[in-house]
């Protein structure tokens, strides 16, 4: 169960395995596994069928899981978990205005994400209806190495977090542009750290181009990343840097300035293992 704390030490006397198993069941549902049978849930979570059945029953009674015959799906009550987080952290008040300003300026889409167990986890997202990636949304996670947001976060992670991530190489190629090797990814991240921004073109999916830069707290630690994305057929690397990077950096600075008013973002999104000090951006 060490993955629960991202490699940290767990106090077995305090750790509640039943709760962990319940969350494992919830998290095994995703975009490609929207409905599953008991045996599929057990296989994806590594739980015994008997344990998976008890978890599913409890979650169904509580409203977090729905059952239709032999198939299980997530229930609408799951949304209360994310909405409670959004309300308590006041994310809407200081992230969404900046994200929306980017979309108003360039169209397409803009997002803010943090690094969560090797994935870029979206905290805020706004898009035009004609944007290229309608599947992006708050709470969605994408492989860090295949996104501009993830590259920024990995480039500013501490050595333990970074080594743990690149140790999983080779990575699955999502397109023929995805970085899959350890050496090429590390070289890319070194360049990202030097430049202060990351670009991904056709790496997560064909047709998607994006540029991202870090969001820092008042002490210069990277707590998140913000990006602007669009159709790669019209957004070259030069266009992303020349037209979008200046506004992106300003949006990042605006959010940093607000962090002193809303320190809850630092408390909830920043993990010591992935925080590094960076220079001004």
pLDDT at 248: 97
- Residue 77 confidence (pLDDT) above 50: yes
pLDDT at 84: 63
pTM of the predicted structure, to 2 decimals = 0.70
Distance, CA of 211 to CA of 228 (rounded, Å) = 6
User: If you average pLDDT over each of 71-85, 95-109, 132-146, 180-194, which comes out highest?
Assistant: 180-194
CB 70 within 8 A of CB 62: no
Q: What is the pLDDT of residues 190-248, one digit of tens each?
A: 999 999 999 999 999 999 999 999 999 878 889 899 999 999 999 999 999 999 999 99
Which among 142, 173, 118 is positioned nearest to 32, based on CA atoms? Answer: 142
Domain ranges in the chain are 2-74, 81-274
User: If you average pLDDT over each of 83-97, 125-139, 179-193, which comes out highest?
Assistant: 179-193
pLDDT at 48: 96
Q: What is the 3-state secondary structure (H, E, C) of 78-126?
A: HHHHHHHHHHHHCHHHHCHHHHHHHHHHHCCEEEEEEEECCEEEEEEEE
pLDDT at 1: 39
pLDDT > 90: what percent of the chain? 60
pLDDT at 171: 93
pLDDT at 141: 85
What is the topology classification, in CATH, of domain 81-274?
Answer: Beta-Lactamase (3.30.450)
Q: Tell me which of 12-21, 116-125, 144-153, 269-278 is least confident.
A: 269-278
Distance, CA of 268 to CA of 144 (rounded, Å) = 19
Token pair 């008040």 is at which residue? 93
Q: What is the pLDDT of residues 166-177, one digit of tens each?
A: 999 899 999 999
pLDDT at 139: 77
pLDDT at 137: 74
What DSSP state is assigned to residue 41?
H
Residue 70's pLDDT band (boundaries 50, 70, 90)? very high
Average pLDDT over residues 274-279: 41
pLDDT at 86: 58
Average per-residue pLDDT for the chain = 85
pLDDT at 32: 82
Q: What is the largest CA-CA distance in the chain?
A: 57
Average pLDDT over residues 138-159: 92
Architecture of the CATH domain 2-74: Orthogonal Bundle (1.10)
Task: Write out the E strands in the chain.
Answer: 35-36, 65-68, 71-74, 109-116, 119-127, 141-143, 198-201, 208-216, 222-231
Average pLDDT over residues 11-37: 90
| Distances 272 to 156, 221, 269, 275, 276 between C-alpha atoms, Å | 12, 10, 10, 5, 8
Please count the residues of the chain.
281
pLDDT at 11: 80
CB 37 within 8 A of CB 69: no
Distance, CA of 132 to CA of 142 (rounded, Å) = 15
Return all residues near 95 (Cβ < 8 A) that are at least 6 apart: 112, 123, 124, 255
**φ, ψ dihedrals at 60, nearest 5°:** -65, -45
């Amino acid at each position: 169960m060490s993955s629960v704390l991202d490699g940290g030490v767990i106090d077995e006397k305090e750790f509640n395995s039943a709760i962990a198993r319940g969350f494992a069941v919830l998290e095994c549902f995703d975009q490609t596994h929207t409905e599953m049978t008991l045996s599929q849930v057990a296989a994806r979570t590594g739980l015994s069928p008997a344990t998976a059945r008890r978890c599913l029953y409890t979650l169904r009674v509580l409203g977090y899981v729905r059952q239709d015959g032999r198939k299980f799906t997530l229930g609408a009550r799951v949304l209360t978990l994310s909405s409670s987080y959004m309300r308590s952290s006041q994310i809407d008040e200081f992230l969404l205005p900046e994200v929306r300003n980017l979309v108003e300026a360039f169209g397409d889409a803009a997002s803010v994400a943090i690094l969560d167990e090797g994935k870029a986890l979206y905290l805020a997202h706004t898009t035009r209806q004609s944007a290229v990636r309608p599947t992006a949304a708050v709470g969605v996670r994408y492989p860090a190495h295949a996104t501009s947001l993830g590259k920024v976060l990995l480039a500013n992670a501490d050595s333990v977090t970074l080594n743990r991530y690149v140790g999983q190489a080779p990575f699955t190629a999502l397109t023929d542009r995805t970085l899959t090797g350890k050496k090429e990814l590390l070289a890319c991240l070194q360049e990202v750290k030097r430049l202060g921004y990351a670009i991904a073109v056709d790496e997560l999916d064909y047709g998607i181009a994006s540029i991202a830069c870090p969001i820092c707290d008042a002490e210069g630690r990277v707590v998140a990343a913000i990006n602007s994305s669009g159709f790669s057929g019209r957004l070259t690397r030069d266009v992303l840097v020349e037209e979008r990077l200046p506004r992106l950096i300003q949006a990042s600075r605006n959010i940093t300035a607000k962090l002193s008013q809303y320190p809850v973002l630092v408390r909830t999104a920043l993990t010591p293992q992935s925080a590094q000090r960076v220079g001004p951006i």
